[in-house]
A and B are shown apart, each in its own frame.
Chain A
Amino acid sequence: MLELKNITFSVTAEESSDNGAMRTIIDDISYVFKKGNFYAITGPNGSGKTTLTRLIMGINQVTSGAINFEGKDISKLSITDRARAGISYSFQQPARFKGTTFRDLLSIASGSDDENKLVQIIARCGICSLDFLDKPIDSKLSGGEIKKIELATTIARNPKLAIYDEPDTGIDLWTIDPMVKLLKTEQEKNDTTTIVISHNRAFLEAADSLLFIENGKIAYSGNMDGALTILNDLSVCHYRGTYDVEGYSGGYR
């Protein structure tokens, strides 16, 4: 349903820190995401994980190559058109607004301001408190709260393709498993193709396929078992270790 064909993304001199030189962030990636599957993307910091998903959403445009979504090349489409085509995106650091509430965002996302419908969506996302709806999306929200809101606005789109960039950042350890279950349920019930960028073992284990990105390339793609060697070899994780409170993300950073 989503095919990346030789996509490359380079930044120009002024955006690059290497004073003058072009820098390639995504280097000739080709990959096919199958409908209804759950993908986890992991890899070292700065490897290009977020950039790759931003290219899919259209936040950045590919320098070369094509992105085919349901058989159509979307690589020149705007963010809006890609959203309307069925792609939805959860940001790692969600935007904060002055004067915009969760209700506003959810209404835009779902295309309805019907109270019952909104309540159904938040219940589906495991948000029990109705007070939450009228919370302003401003700097007063905690990191965990805003991530839950971000997740809900993504799910409210009923997307064909849902992309989550580190949904567990700022979420307490005890909420991660329910979050994985939520994304799995959405995937299974609605046949949502799901891509999650994460360093957390819970997400990696939940995935049908895992992509390990390094230096702008896919260094590995396949199942979790095959990935263990590469993850350990690259010393990016302590996968065998158990959770500790501070390093709750499981260590894949």
Chain B
Amino acid sequence: MTWRDIVEAIDKELLKAVADLEGVPNGAYNIRKNGRLLGREISSNISIETVKEGAGIIVTIRPGTVNESVHIPVIVSQAGLNDVVYNTFVIGEDSDVTIVAGCGIHCGTSQSEGHEGIHEFRLGKGARVKYVEKHIAMGEGKGKRVLNPTTRVFLEKNSYAEMELTQLGGVDEATRVNEANLAAGSSLFITERVMTDYKQTAVSRNQIVLAGDGSKANMISRSVIKGDSKQNFYATIEALAKSFGHIECDAIIMDNGLNETIPALKAKHPEAELTHEASIGKIANDQLIKLMSLGLTYDEAVNRIIQGFLG
């Protein structure tokens, strides 16, 4: 299938929302729609193989590959479909790549639609990856939109991963799981942004193990809870070595939203340095007053604050 065929076969709005794609992606890509492969492009350094039709892919990045990217958006628009994939990314030593994933659900009927994506990252020594994942659901249908992403990251010595995980809206139910294991000298920066509204629920469970000396993890969570929605955030950093870990979780509650936030730190090594900061509350009044004193209306001020907070 050519890129033009792909674009015609797909909801353009969704594709842009989940993968920032408008033109042909620069680099490798694998586009999946309603449980089937729609298009794939590989490069001399990046291979993409199907494990078993429908079950997922293995993306292998050759050692030393730099400045290349992989786009792997998934679109679900078929009533009643629950798409499950297990994707593995093997990122070669000393490579430096960007991976953009995302799932867009378009629900047009009263039947539920869902996607469960398990993404496993294996970073070789000195490898660097930037992973961007966006989840969004739209459409007029009354069916439940369910997105349950799991991200597992294994960082070998001196590797580096930066992960931006975002759920933008429209998702009725989400169970998000992030797990990581860090070898000596490796670093992991996770930023998770989740917005819920109406009666939506989202749970995020995070488990980071600092296994090697000098490893470093920073987990930032930003939640916006509107309407009657509910979000729970659980994060544990466990240090088994002389390492550094930080959890920063902030939740802004609007309307009647509810939130439970539990950061946990476990030092199983005497030289571990672990910190956390957590906050739950409405938008601070002094922020609103400041923006209104710059000429914004109350609603404009709220939007700007939320926009900035969710980055």
A interface residues, Cβ below 8 angstroms from B: 57, 59, 78-80, 83-84, 88-89, 91, 93-101, 104-105, 108-109, 111, 153, 157
Q: Using Cβ atoms and an 8 Å threshold, which residues of chain B touch A153?
A: 294
Q: For the complex, what is the distance from the CA of A97 to the CA of B222, rounded to whole Å?
A: 13
Q: Using Cβ atoms and an 8 Å threshold, which residues of chain A touch B293?
A: 57, 59, 79, 83, 88-89
14 residue pairs from A and B, CB less than 8 Å apart: A57-B293, A83-B292, A84-B295, A93-B286, A95-B287, A95-B290, A98-B222, A98-B308, A98-B309, A99-B310, A100-B308, A104-B304, A111-B295, A157-B295
Contact of B292 among A78, A91, A101, A111 (CB under 8 A): A78
Distance (Å) between the CB of A178 and the closest chain B CB? 24
Across the A-B interface, the 8 shortest Cβ-Cβ residue pairs: A99-B308, A100-B308, A95-B286, A79-B292, A95-B290, A83-B295, A95-B287, A109-B294
In the complex, besides A83-B292, A89-B293, A108-B296, 4 extra interface pairs with C-beta distance below 8 angstroms are A84-B295, A100-B305, A105-B294, A109-B295
Q: Using Cβ atoms and an 8 Å threshold, which residues of chain A touch B305?
A: 97, 100
Residue among A84, A97, A101 with the highest chain B CB neighbour number at 10 A = A97
B275 CB–A CB distance under 8 Å: no
Q: For the complex, what is the distance from the CA of A225 to the CA of B305, rounded to whole Å?
A: 46
Nearest residue, chain B, Cβ from A111: B295
Distance (Å) between the CB of B279 and the closest chain A CB? 9
A-B contact count (CB 8 A): 62
Distance (Å) between the CB of B280 and the closest chain A CB? 13
Q: Which of B271-308 contact A (CB under 8 A)?
A: 284, 286-287, 289-298, 304-305, 308
B311 CB–A CB distance under 8 Å: yes
Q: Using Cβ atoms and an 8 Å threshold, which residues of chain B touch A157?
A: 294-295
Contact of B296 among A80, A93, A101 (CB under 8 A): A80
Q: Using Cβ atoms and an 8 Å threshold, which residues of chain A touch B290?
A: 91, 94-95, 105
Q: For the complex, what is the distance from the CA of A98 to the CA of B296, rounded to whole Å?
A: 18
Q: Using Cβ atoms and an 8 Å threshold, which residues of chain B touch A96?
A: 287
Q: For the complex, what is the distance from the CA of A2 to the CA of B107, rounded to whole Å?
A: 57
Q: Report whether B287 and A99 are in contact in the complex, using a CB–CB cutoff of 8 Å.
A: no
How many residues of chain B get a CB closer than 8 Å to chain A's CBs?
Answer: 21
Distance (Å) between the CB of B305 and the closest chain A CB? 7
B250 CB–A CB distance under 8 Å: yes
Q: For the complex, what is the distance from the CA of A190 to the CA of B298, rounded to whole Å?
A: 29
Q: For the complex, what is the distance from the CA of A99 to the CA of B309, rounded to whole Å?
A: 5
Nearest residue, chain B, Cβ from A136: B308
Nearest residue, chain B, Cβ from A98: B309
Q: For the complex, what is the distance from the CA of A55 to the CA of B91, rounded to whole Å?
A: 60
Nearest residue, chain B, Cβ from A109: B294
Nearest residue, chain B, Cβ from A59: B289
Q: Using Cβ atoms and an 8 Å threshold, which residues of chain A touch B298?
A: 78, 80
Q: A95-B287, A95-B290 are in contact. Are A108 and B295 (CB under 8 A)?
A: yes
Q: Using Cβ atoms and an 8 Å threshold, which residues of chain B touch A105?
A: 290, 294
Q: Using Cβ atoms and an 8 Å threshold, which residues of chain B touch A88?
A: 293
Q: Using Cβ atoms and an 8 Å threshold, which residues of chain A touch B287?
A: 95-97
Distance (Å) between the CB of B120 and the closest chain A CB? 30
Q: Report whether B308 and A91 are in contact in the complex, using a CB–CB cutoff of 8 Å.
A: no
Distance (Å) between the CB of B32 and the closest chain A CB? 32
Nearest residue, chain A, Cβ from B279: A98
Distance (Å) between the CB of B268 and the closest chain A CB? 30
Q: Using Cβ atoms and an 8 Å threshold, which residues of chain B touch A59?
A: 289, 293
Q: Report whether B289 and A79 are in contact in the complex, using a CB–CB cutoff of 8 Å.
A: yes
Q: Report whether B304 and A91 are in contact in the complex, using a CB–CB cutoff of 8 Å.
A: no
Q: For the complex, what is the distance from the CA of A83 to the CA of B292, rounded to whole Å?
A: 7
Nearest residue, chain B, Cβ from A99: B308
Q: Report whether B294 and A100 are in contact in the complex, using a CB–CB cutoff of 8 Å.
A: no
Nearest residue, chain A, Cβ from B193: A99
Nearest residue, chain B, Cβ from A84: B295
Q: For the complex, what is the distance from the CA of A93 to the CA of B304, rounded to whole Å?
A: 20
Residue among A84, A108, A111, A153 with the highest chain B CB neighbour number at 10 A = A108
Q: For the complex, what is the distance from the CA of A214 to the CA of B309, rounded to whole Å?
A: 41
Contact of A100 among B222, B286, B289, B304 (CB under 8 A): B304
Distance (Å) between the CB of B225 and the closest chain A CB? 15
Contact of A98 among B250, B291, B292, B304 (CB under 8 A): B250
Distance (Å) between the CB of B89 and the closest chain A CB? 28
Q: Report whether A104 and B308 are in contact in the complex, using a CB–CB cutoff of 8 Å.
A: yes
Q: For the complex, what is the distance from the CA of A57 to the CA of B293, rounded to whole Å?
A: 8
Q: Using Cβ atoms and an 8 Å threshold, which residues of chain B touch A91?
A: 286, 290
Q: For the complex, what is the distance from the CA of A97 to the CA of B296, rounded to whole Å?
A: 16
Q: A79-B293, A94-B290 are in contact. Are A99 and B304 (CB under 8 A)?
A: no
Nearest residue, chain A, Cβ from B309: A99
Q: Using Cβ atoms and an 8 Å threshold, which residues of chain B touch A109?
A: 294-295
Q: Report whether B294 and A99 are in contact in the complex, using a CB–CB cutoff of 8 Å.
A: no
Distance (Å) between the CB of A132 and the closest chain B CB? 17
Q: Which of B193-234 contact A (CB under 8 A)?
A: 222
Q: For the complex, what is the distance from the CA of A89 to the CA of B289, rounded to whole Å?
A: 10
Q: Which of B128-165 contact A (CB under 8 A)?
A: none
